[in-house]
């Protein structure tokens, strides 16, 4: 398994040498979407808390970094940590509110909070420039490397993706990760065993919003432009779809799911006009054939083909 991951990573590192710029940019977008979906998966898959407002953190971090650099004239060395920090702090507050409930109540609260932020972005024209969005942004150049170059940017995103996924893997396999899954499966039992269920969920919510903010930062670097639509419920729902289609509660699932959504959106739309319908059909097919998601479904299929125990 580990050998496969290293092979895949080697392949991804080499990608810019054998593919055109279009595909390198598409790959960058897939990686950003993968970080975003993986961060949402911490809540959906590992905490059992389905959020429909995760786009807030992506958008907030993008907007904060854009605003600080455009209006305050600050450099990337300041805007990036500031955007991550402020968005994570907002995540602390939003988590505190949304975790008053679980299940459907949690979903509705996350949706409501994200709609507030989205509405604010549209209407608070003085700060966000409303429907026109914020443009004229730049990419950072760490250690003098110009990330304006699409290959360089791709490698930059790849490094951050690997770091983010590695930290998620460490997190979910740690003792804390085990207690998190415990609160998902039997929260009453966890409470009577001496665990602070609320605290465990809140810490996870904050970590998840931090990683969402990280994806937002990369998103705004990639596009060099930000529009309120990035905060819309569609973006949250697409990430949720990626998590569920790929396999929630697995490490690779959201990455595969995000790749699928991105490919359908960017690639299939060039050939099929009604690509939204195509996406719908694909997801209905996945849910019927592999209800647990592509990654667990494929693994189960492989085990069956090899004749092993199911």
Partner 1 sequence: MTAAMTPALEVRGLCKSYGGIAVTQNVSLTVAPGERRLIIGPNGAGKTTLFGLIQGEIKPDAGTIRVLGHDVTRQPVPERARVGMARTYQIINLFTRDTLAHNVVLSLMGLMPLKRNAFTALAARTDLYDKAAALLASVGLSHRAQHRISEISYGEQRRVEIALALAQEPKLLLLDEPFAGLSQDERLIIKELIASIPSETAIVMIEHDMDIALDFAEQITVLHYGQLIVEGDRNKVVNDPMTREIYLGH
**Chosen residue from 71, 123, 170, 303 binding partner 1 by CB under 8 A:** 170
For the four alpha carbons of 125, 131, 134 and 136, in that order, the dihedral sign comes to negative
Burial of 188 (0-12, 13-18, 19+ CB in 10 A): exposed
- Least separation in angstroms between residue 159's CB and partner 1 is 20
Smallest distance, Å, CB 193 to partner 1? 4
In angstroms, the CA 310 to CA 299 distance is: 10
3-state secondary structure of 134: strand
Segment 272 to 291, residues that bind partner 1, using CB under 8 A:
none
Residue 151 and residue 27 in contact, taking contact as beta carbons nearer than 8 Å: no
Q: Which stretch binds partner 1 (CB under 8 A): 5-13, 49-57, 127-135, 181-189?
A: 181-189
Tokens in use for 231? 């905060």
Binding mask 80-109 for partner 1 (x = CB under 8 A): ------------------------------
The reply to whether 308 sits near partner 1 by the rule CB under 8 A is: no
C-alpha 217: how far from its chain's center?
11
> Is 211 one of the binding residues for partner 1 (CB under 8 A)?
no
DSSP-derived 3-state class of residue 225: strand
Binding span for partner 1 by CB under 8 A among 104-112, 179-187, 222-230, 279-287: 179-187
Does the footprint of partner 1 cover residue 173 (CB under 8 A)?
A: yes
Alpha carbons 103 and 109: distance in angstroms, whole number: 10
Does 166 help bind partner 1 (rule: CB under 8 A)? no
Report the residue number, 165 or 231, with the smaller CB distance to partner 1: 165
260 near 282, Cβ under 8 Å? yes
Taking the C-alpha atoms of residue 303 and residue 124, their distance in angstroms, rounded to an integer, is 54
Site string for partner 1, 184-203 (x = CB under 8 A): -xx-xxxxxxxxxx-----x
Asked whether the beta carbons of 38 and 169 are under 8 A apart, the reply is no
135 interacts with partner 1 by CB under 8 A: no
Question: Whole-number minimum distance, CB 195 to partner 1, in Å?
Answer: 6
At closest approach, how far in Å is the CB of 303 from partner 1?
16
Count of positions on this chain that bind partner 1 (CB under 8 A): 24
Select from 73, 144, 175, 309 the one that contacts partner 1 (CB under 8 A): 175
Tell me, what DSSP letter sits at residue 123?
H
State the minimum distance, in angstroms, from the CB of residue 202 to partner 1: 13
Binds partner 1 (CB under 8 A): choice among 57, 171, 222, 283: 171
- How far, in Å, CA of 36 to CA of 238, rounded? 10
CB 188 → partner 1: shortest distance, Å? 6
Q: Phi and psi of 96, rounded to 5°?
A: -60, -40
For partner 1, which stretch binds (CB under 8 A), given 5-13, 44-52, 174-182, 299-307? 174-182
3-state secondary structure of 274: coil
309 binds partner 1 (CB under 8 A): no
Residue 196, CA distances (Å) to 146, 189, 199, 294 in order: 46, 11, 5, 33
Residue with tokens 């961060």: 39
Contact positions toward partner 1, by CB under 8 A?
A: 170-171, 173-179, 181-182, 185-186, 188-197, 203
């Amino acid at each position: 398994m580990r050998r496969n991951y290293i092979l895949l990573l080697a392949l991804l590192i080499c990608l810019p040498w054998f593919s055109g710029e279009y595909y390198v940019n598409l790959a960058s977008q897939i990686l950003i979407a993968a970080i975003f979906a993986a961060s949402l998966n911490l809540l959906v898959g590992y905490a059992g808390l389905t959020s429909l407002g995760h786009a807030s953190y992506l958008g907030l971090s993008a907007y904060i970094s854009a605003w600080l650099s455009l209006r305050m004239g600050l450099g990337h060395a300041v805007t990036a940590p500031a955007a991550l920090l402020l968005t994570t702090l907002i995540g602390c507050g939003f988590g505190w509110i949304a975790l008053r409930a679980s299940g459907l109540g949690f979903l509705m609260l996350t949706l409501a909070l994200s709609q507030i932020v989205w509405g604010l972005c549209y209407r608070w024209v003085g700060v966000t420039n409303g429907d026109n969005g914020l443009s004229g942004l730049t990419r950072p150049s760490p250690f003098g490397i110009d990330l304006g170059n699409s290959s360089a940017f791709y490698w930059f995103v790849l490094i951050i993706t690997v770091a983010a996924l590695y930290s998620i893997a460490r997190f979910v396999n740690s003792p804390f990760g085990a207690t998190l899954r415990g609160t998902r499966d039997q929260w009453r039992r966890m409470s009577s065993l001496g665990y602070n269920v609320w605290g465990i969920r809140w810490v996870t919510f904050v970590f998840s919003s931090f990683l969402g903010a990280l994806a937002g930062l990369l998103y705004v670097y990639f596009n060099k432009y930000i529009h309120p639509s990035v905060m819309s419920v569609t973006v949250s729902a697409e990430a949720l779809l990626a998590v569920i289609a790929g396999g929630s509660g697995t490490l690779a699932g959201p990455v595969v799911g995000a790749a699928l959504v991105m490919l359908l959106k960017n690639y299939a739309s060039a050939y099929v006009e009604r690509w939204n319908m195509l996406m719908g059909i694909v997801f209905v097919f996945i849910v019927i054939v592999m209800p647990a998601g592509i990654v667990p479904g494929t693994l189960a299929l492989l085990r069956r083909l090899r004749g092993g125990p199911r």
